[in-house]
Chain A
Amino acid sequence: MSAATTDTANPRKPYVRPISKTSWFLTSARYKSYMVHEVSSIFVALYMIQLVAGLFYLAAGPEEWESYLAFLRSPVVILLTLVGLVFFVIHTTSWFKAVPQATRIMRGEEVLPGKILVTAHYGIWAAVSLFVIILAWVA
């Protein structure tokens, strides 16, 4: 064997390609769509805050509740709510889509097909929505 014995004789010189910490997500369409999805959760958070704030106003009394409703009726808030709703639906459906990946249920000797899990989620979503709509209708 005439293996190299000193470091200077080592011809290895691995090249490390630089990765930008601030713009890596611009390097592929897949990363861009991931980042848009992540950033849009800000609107989902705002929508959640709006809903939770409503509860506090409701608890505070009828006058406060009316002021909250008036706030909701302003055009800017309606627009923001619509944007929030759209992203809420997008995030909900993307999570439903991921359910079979994160959950593996055995039924007998077979893995429960992901389609059943996803359909069940949509079913529960529809049932709860229907219940809320009926409740709002009656009230």
Chain B
Amino acid sequence: MTATRTIQLEVLRYRPEQDAKPFFQTYAVPVEDEWVVLDALNYVKDELDRTLSYRWSCHMFVCGSCGMMINGEPKLACKAFMQDYPSGKIRVEPLSNFPIERDLVIVQDDFVEKLTAVKPYLLPKQDKTVEQGEYLQTPAELKKYKQYSLCINCLCCYAACPQYGLEPSFIGPAALTLAHRYNTDSRDAGPEARGDLVAAHEGVWACSFVGACSQVCPKDVDPAGAIQQAKLYSALNFVTGMVKGDK
């Protein structure tokens, strides 16, 4: 049975061409328990206010477009079910720690730059030609990093991370996790090929292990875990480097 009820959807609005700063606008939205917050936003867009802007695409926790603050928690709007908000009041804001482009749309440029910087792709030890075939890997080697490859770049972890908010030079959870994902891939040449970025001050060592990123991750990627493992690797590397007399 679906029970239709009306919720008060408070949305942080910001229209750069006319607003000096963001403000909350409340919409009365008839919803069903099976709905998600994204459905409510779509209702507003279709029926109440077509000027509302937000990102979304797949509606099934795959594309990572609809990350936003829902009652103060970074969540995917397509994964936040109405039945979990019985109070009838839902507050929606753009992801914390990012500049607001318009309404619920954030400026992602900083993240995209950082993601690019960690080279999130295979850097093989030795390049192969197509004729030489694929880079092979055993199931055990895949399991070593698979969890960290499930990131959908929704940026909920950045919104949860106080360190990123306070110190924007921090490379941050998702990009560091992807660096770790490739560094631990048996087909990859490892951290040396990826540069010193992960071990740098704004890399893993800027993380103080609040752990909020892993708590909010909608894909259970556990960025905090990946970063702690990368710290261990970086520390061991530093010590072996000293012993060998590298620096």
Which A residues are within 8 Å of any B CB, using their own CB?
11-17, 19, 21, 24-25, 28, 30-31, 34, 98, 100-104, 106, 108-111
Contacts and interface: CB of A to CB of B under 8 A. Distances in A.
Contacts of B100: 14-17
Given A13-B17, A34-B212, A111-B143, 8 more contacts: A12-B101, A14-B99, A17-B22, A24-B162, A24-B166, A25-B162, A31-B210, A106-B140
30 contacts: A11-B17, A12-B16, A14-B16, A14-B100, A15-B14, A15-B16, A15-B22, A16-B99, A17-B22, A17-B96, A19-B97, A19-B166, A24-B166, A28-B72, A30-B160, A30-B210, A30-B212, A30-B215, A31-B162, A31-B210, A34-B210, A101-B224, A102-B231, A104-B144, A106-B143, A108-B140, A109-B138, A109-B140, A109-B143, A111-B144
Closest 8 CB pairs of A and B: A101-B225, A102-B228, A14-B99, A13-B16, A109-B140, A15-B100, A16-B99, A19-B165
B232 A24 contact: no
Interface string B128-154: 000000000011100110000000000
A14 B107 contact: yes
Contacts of B99: 14-17
Taking each of B138, B166, B224, B225, which has the highest tally of chain A beta carbons within 10 Å of its own beta carbon?
B225
Contacts of B21: 15
B206 to A, nearest CB: 15
Contact of B144 (A21, A101, A106): A106
Contacts of A21: 166
A110 B22 CA distance: 49
Contacts of A111: 143-144
B14 A98 contact: no
A67 to B, nearest CB: 40
B229 A103 contact: yes
Contacts of A19: 97, 165-166
Contacts, number: 75
A112 B147 CA distance: 14
Interface residues of B, number: 34
Specify which of A17, A98, A100, A110 lies most central, judged by the most chain B CB atoms within 10 Å of its CB. A17
Contacts of B14: 15
Contact of B228 (A25, A30, A31, A101): A101
Contacts of B228: 98, 101-102
Contacts of B160: 30
A31 B72 CA distance: 12
A100 B211 CA distance: 13
A86 B174 CA distance: 35
A14 B140 contact: no
A37 to B, nearest CB: 10
Nearest to B17: A11
A109 B225 contact: no
A102 B165 contact: no
Most buried by A among B21, B72, B160, B210: B210
A14 B101 contact: yes
A102 B223 CA distance: 10
B185 interface: no
